[in-house]
Amino acid sequence: MREKIISKASELFLKLGFKSITMDDIACEMCISKKTIYKYFCNKEVLIEESIGVLHKEVHQSIDAIVKKDYNAIEENFEIRKMFKEMFNSGDTSPMYQLKKHYSETYNKLVNREINECNTVFKQNIEKGIREGFYRSEIPVDKYVKFYYTLIFEINGNTISEKEAQDLELEALEYHTRAMSTPLGILELEKQLKKIIT
């Protein structure tokens, strides 16, 4: 039952936002009493933290699955962006914005955990792109990793509209890729951008 509650809460938080969804909403959706939820979670904040833990795991399993498909480095980043877009596409208000505004302590814990994961994913992607000839070999990898995750977290924590956040994320991805790319990388970037437009 505990896992079922976390699963349903995660789905509702992503769809309608962390602030908007109440314990009553979750109980109603699951056709259980609110008392049953409180048997497992002493308050909403604890449920949010548990839900974020599950979402974090799902996101990184999806990223690992994309990386295993052995796309080139630029296409890989676009596939990861597409996965995030599908996962966060249901609500008007950005869930991350709501989390930062109303549950800042939980948001800060999430960001600290994600920075470590992002460091690894972004660094591996840049190193792969250099090997493939899509990214310039002389770029300071650690600095570019920091630039990119700073941009992404800034967008997600400070943009109310989910659609606007996704548009800005695409601009940030293009900006990040252009800054690193060789002429071959620019051609691949243009190819990936055309796929989004068509």
Q: Residue 160: its pLDDT value, please? A: 83
Amino acid residing at 72? N
Q: What is the DSSP letter of 15?
A: H
Beta strands in the chain (DSSP E): none
57: nearest Cα among 7, 21, 126:
7
Angle subtended at Cα 192 by Cα 186 and Cα 85, rounded to the nearest 5 degrees: 130
CA distance 166 to 88: 9
- Residue 166: per-residue pLDDT: 86
Please report the pLDDT score of residue 100 as a whole number.
83
Rounded CA separation 70/53 (Å)? 27
Q: Which class for 32: exposed (0-12), middle (13-18), buried (19 or more C-beta within 10 A)?
A: middle
Q: Which residues are CB-neighbours of 164 under 8 A, at least 6 positions away?
A: none
pLDDT at residue 89 in the model: 65
pLDDT for position 197: 67
- pLDDT confidence of residue 109: 84
Identify the bridge partners of residue 135 per DSSP, sorted by sequence position. 181
* Helix then strand then coil, % of the chain, to nearest 5: 80, 0, 20
Residues of the chain with pLDDT under 70: 89-92, 197-198
